[in-house]
Structure 1
Amino acid sequence: MPANFRSALQQFIREEAKPIEKYGHQPRLYALTKSIGKGMQYDDDVVFAAAWLHDPGVFGGHRPEDPAALTCWDHVHYACERVPGILSETQFPAEKIPTVLAVICEHQPHDEPTSIEATILRDADILEQLGAIGILRTVCKIRRDTRYATFTDAVQALRKSLDTLPGKIRLESTKRLAEPKIIALRNFLDAVESESAGALF
């Protein structure tokens, strides 16, 4: 496999990720997969490709701009349509492309992963929705994302993450990594509750 396929994928996302802060999700996510999967046997090339290419459908210029169209937009389906061509251009092994697509299709919290690669990526994506990073990723969407018109919308989404996501984690290594993130998110939400005086808006 050419040594530069990873740098080619990174460069593609660097150019396409809009707004710019969306670029950080990919390198952070891959770093989390390395921490989660330490000592496990899995195909790191597949996880790398899926981590870097699972989200082009949420980038500006790729997703619909019309709010109505955006409400029914399937960013995973979009990614699976685009990813084979992107990987082929980087000379990623053709025989591994179906596995990358399967991992992308199973990376969301509501999915049921059927491989260790998908489980690792899904757990990593859950971690990205907790802790300080989860807070930043949610709050920066206020007034830019149709789901988050107000602070209240963002806080409700964060509360839902805290209530539902920890229980969806599969791997023991992820559960250990999640512990400080859960505490940080809980402390933040408690502080919002105590400081807002019922007037968050």
Structure 2
Amino acid sequence: MERQALIQALEAAFARLADARDAGHDVHHARRVRDNAMRIADREGGDRVVLLAAAYLHDLVSPPKDSPDRARASALSAEAAGPVLRELGLDEERVAGAQHAIHAHSFSAGVETKTIEARILQDADRLEALGAIGVARTFYTAGLMNSAMFDADDPFAASRPLDDRRYALDHFAAKLLKLPATMKTEAGRALAEERLGVMRAFLDAIAAELGVAAGW
């Protein structure tokens, strides 16, 4: 199938099957992950059909962040993607490759990335948690979870444990600032470091506005 036709078919499948009420995991997120994956693949290689399929369907099943099923989301998405990809005419090798990439991309799943496509998808998705979009998604998700923006008395957790379920700002130190070190490809790591600079500039700015020292 020609690339644009495949993209249209994958977007139609996403619209039909995905629960896109969470704007952090809607088709626009899938498109950005697609573009990140293609950017990385320009330097790292990989099967672009597998990457397109995995990018669009990696959040096909997306339970809320506080759901007990959250850790199984990537496994459930990989399972749901199989019939979709076979219906689109992908051969079994590519179906399996896309399913592995989908299953392994998740931070919480703890699945080894055994292929270049899996490593690229994981990096492409983690880039969404960094930079200006990462800042926006952090506070958007905090709103969905009824979390506070920050602890007004100790915004950078100088004298308390981090609690990123209670405070959105804590999520930067608890997870986001550590992401560049977890990237599996050189291209992904370079993009992550660029976006980390944007995120650190935001943290410096919010610290200045609050009149405190940025602790991270």
Normalising by structure 2, we get a TM-score of: 0.77
CA distance in 2, matches of 1:167, 1:45: 27
Secondary structure, aligned partner of 1:38:
helix
CA distance in 1, matches of 2:132, 2:78: 30
Matches within 5 A, 1:49-128: 49-58=53-62, 63=63, 70-73=67-70, 74-109=72-107, 110-128=110-128
CA distance in 2, matches of 1:164, 1:178: 10
1:169 to 154, 170, 183: 183
Report the CA distance shift for 1:191/1:64 in structure 2 as closer, same or farther (over 3 A).
closer
Identity %: 29
Q: What CA deviation, in whole Å up to 9, does each residue of 1:177-199 have, x standing for no partner? A: 2222111101111222232357x
Residue 205 of structure 2 aligns to which amino acid in structure 1? Answer: A
CA distance in 2, matches of 1:94, 1:172: 29
Gaps of 5+ in 1: none
Q: What CA deviation, in whole Å up to 9, does each residue of 1:129-174 have, x standing for no partner? A: 11001111111123313xx511122111123334321111122212
CA distance in 1, matches of 2:31, 2:83: 21
Match of 1:185 in 2: 199
Secondary structure, aligned partner of 1:154:
coil
Secondary structure, aligned partner of 2:142:
coil
> RCO higher in 1 or 2 (8 Å CA, sep ≥ 6)?
1
Contact kept? 2:74, 2:106, Cα under 8 Å: no
Secondary structure, aligned partner of 1:91:
coil
For structure 1, which segment, 45-54 or 164-173, has the greater mean C-alpha deviation from structure 2 after superposition?
Answer: 164-173
Q: What CA deviation, in whole Å up to 9, does each residue of 1:53-97 have, x standing for no partner? A: 010222xxxx379x6xx1343211221221112222322323321
Normalising by structure 1, we get a TM-score of: 0.82
Residue 19 of structure 1 aligns to which amino acid in structure 2? Answer: D
Matches within 5 A, 1:31-42: 31-42=35-46
Report the CA distance shift for 1:93/1:75 in structure 2 as closer, same or farther (over 3 A).
same
Contact kept? 1:159, 1:189, Cα under 8 Å: no
Match of 2:144 in 1: 144
Residue 195 of structure 2 aligns to which amino acid in structure 1? Answer: K
Gaps of 5+ in 2: 151-166
Residue 91 of structure 2 aligns to which amino acid in structure 1? Answer: P
Residue 53 of structure 2 aligns to which amino acid in structure 1? Answer: A
For this pair of structures, how many residues does the alignment match? 189
Shift of 1:42: 1.5
Secondary structure, aligned partner of 1:114:
coil
Structural RMSD (CA): 2.4
